[in-house]
Amino acid sequence: MCLAVPGRVLDIEERDGTRMANVDFGGVVKEVCLEYLPDLQVGEYAIVHVGFALQRLDEESARQTLELFAELGLLQGEFGDPWETAAAEAGVDPVEEVSNQ
Amino acid sequence: MKYIDEFQDPELARRLLDDIHATVTRPWALMEVCGGQTHSIIRHGIDQLLPEQVELIHGPGCPVCVTPLEVIDKALEIASRPGVIFCSFGDMLRVPGTGRDLFQVRGEGGDVRVVYSPLDALRIAQQNPDREVVFFGIGFETTAPPNAMTVHQARKLGIKNFSMLVSHVRVPPAIEAIMSSPSCRVQGFLAAGHVCSVMGVGEYPELAERFRVPIVVTGFEPLDILEGVRRAVRQLERGEHTVDNAYSRAVRPEGNPAARSMLEDVFEVTDRAWRGIGVIPDSGWRLSSKYRDHDAEHRFSVSGIQTAEPAECRSGEVLQGLLKPHECEAFGTLCTPRTPLGATMVSSEGACAAYYLYRRLDLPATKAREATPVV
């Protein structure tokens, strides 16, 4: 959760008076708030944490970090299904666990 | 040196390592503050590549791990109430409270939802005006600004059914507490890069001076960590103790002023208990009085809940760098990611989990067998 992942801004729009963007994290696209980096532009990279862009990053650094995080399996932790992960850790069949709801 | 070929730039890694080996003349103990760094260090065997004299001690840098048990119990209590939608980041699901966790609360019928961003929880509140939506706001200075913005938005948009259970923590008071302990062995710090992306480096010079420790702002990648170690060791060998930024591509000296300004508006500094460690003065944030309406602790009257840690769990010593995970009797036997005693084992950023993942074969044979998960 403390992980902040670099991503590339795909497009920007105002929503509820807030500057929001779609950001690409090595193939996974998430909605990101740009209020803390208001001058970030389409095509630029930033370090994003829990849906907020926190600091600009150059493209090469961003690419290298994404590769490392993918290798460490951290992107799965950040963007994968948390219920499946929790069920696996608990030794519960996720399908059975969900169907009990 | 079995891992060096896996570095993104093995030649640069070799050069950094050679420089560290050539510089070191005496034993030094450095603490990496961030759980992401711990993960990277253990995964790449960086501690094994360094000279024997350089010891890396794992610090309290996993937000999930340091969230106090009583806050987890408050979360479980609120999440169990009818009419509540409890939203959390995924890595809090299996952090053990007293007797159960959020994952089990959902199994018992609680409406627990995992969100990627705190803004997702706010949207859930907008979509469910007849329900109380509570977001579990934990984390260090990296996570606090997004959560602060979310509370600010809730107030601005007049979303009354949204509140936050806040248990934010601050790194500098933790460094101060670690250095003030009589049993402290730490002589230098690798500061957490992304915390500094927000906060800048302004809080550190006073600490570096007072405790005479170098503080090197360091990133997460293996080469970043080697460079952080190299700069810290160089300072120590020269008898220096300054703040040095080895992660300048992501850390400006002033941090992110907009984020810091929002933090100051929404939160106020408070004493905070750290799981396994105890109360550290001024080490946390709570919602300021202006935002009290959005304080879940206030709204759900759970401030009376007080609980005790399991006696077998020594995660507090691990978090303070006094004990390595595998030195704990329960490690890999009584305590595994499937049956965690403490949060350092359940969190993917926890030091115990990192050791369990990557160091299993270093255990004595009997322990290793017991530690191997049955899939």
pLDDT tens-place string over residues A13-54: 998 889 999 999 988 999 999 999 999 999 999 999 999 999
**Residues of A with CB below 8 A from B116's CB?**
30, 50-51, 79
The confidence score (pLDDT) of residue B357 equals 84
How far away is chain A from the Cα of B143, in angstroms, using its nearest Cα?
7
The confidence score (pLDDT) of residue A2 equals 58
The confidence score (pLDDT) of residue B60 equals 87
**Residues of B with CB below 8 A from A79's CB?**
116
> Tell me: the pLDDT tens digits for B131-166?
999 999 999 999 999 999 999 999 999 999 999 999
Q: Confidence class of residue A94 from pLDDT cuts 50, 70 and 90? A: low
The confidence score (pLDDT) of residue B122 equals 97
The confidence score (pLDDT) of residue B103 equals 93
Total length of chain B: 375
Rounded to whole angstroms, the Cα distance separating B338 from B324 reads 20
Cβ–Cβ below 8 Å for A89 and B346? yes
Measured over the CA atoms of residue B280, residue B282, residue B283 and residue B289, the dihedral's sign is positive
Residues 110-149 of B with CB under 8 A from A: 114, 116-120, 138-140, 142-143, 145-146, 149
How far away is chain A from the Cα of B158, in angstroms, using its nearest Cα?
12
**Residues of B with CB below 8 A from A86's CB?**
90, 93-94, 103
Q: Among candidates B309, B294, B308, B299, which has minimal Cα distance to B344? A: B309
User: Which of B89, B106, B338 faces A50 most closely, judged by CB atoms?
Assistant: B89
Give me chain A's average pLDDT, please.
Answer: 83
The confidence score (pLDDT) of residue B362 equals 54
Region A9-16 average pLDDT: 93
What is the ipTM, given to two decimal places? 0.87
The confidence score (pLDDT) of residue A93 equals 62
Q: Are A1 and B143 in contact (CB under 8 A)?
A: yes
The confidence score (pLDDT) of residue A72 equals 66
Q: Among candidates B118, B171, B123, which has minimal Cα distance to B145? A: B118
Cβ–Cβ below 8 Å for A55 and B197? yes
The confidence score (pLDDT) of residue B368 equals 40
Kindly identify which residue of chain A lies nearest to residue B336, measuring between CA atoms: A89
Tens of pLDDT along chain B (375 residues) come to 456 777 878 889 999 999 999 999 999 999 999 988 998 898 889 999 999 999 999 988 888 888 988 899 999 999 999 999 999 998 899 888 888 999 999 999 999 999 999 999 999 999 999 999 999 999 999 999 999 999 999 999 999 999 999 999 999 999 999 999 888 999 999 999 999 999 999 999 999 999 999 999 999 889 999 999 999 999 999 999 999 999 999 999 999 999 999 999 999 999 998 887 889 999 999 999 999 999 999 999 887 777 777 778 888 888 888 888 989 999 998 898 888 888 788 887 789 988 888 875 454 444 443 443 332
Radius of gyration in angstroms for the set of CA atoms belonging to chain A, rounded to a whole number: 16
Q: Are A95 and B104 in contact (CB under 8 A)?
A: no
Cβ–Cβ below 8 Å for A4 and B259? no
Cβ–Cβ below 8 Å for A47 and B36? no
The confidence score (pLDDT) of residue B364 equals 47
Q: Two tokens at B243?
A: 């703040």
The confidence score (pLDDT) of residue A98 equals 46
Cβ–Cβ below 8 Å for A49 and B94? no
The confidence score (pLDDT) of residue B9 equals 82
> What does the CA dihedral B39, B43, B49, B54 come to, rounded to 10 degrees?
20
Cβ–Cβ below 8 Å for A1 and B251? no
Q: Are B62 and B347 in contact (CB under 8 A)?
A: yes
Q: Two tokens at A8?
A: 């590339």
Rounded to whole angstroms, the Cα distance separating B54 from B310 reads 33
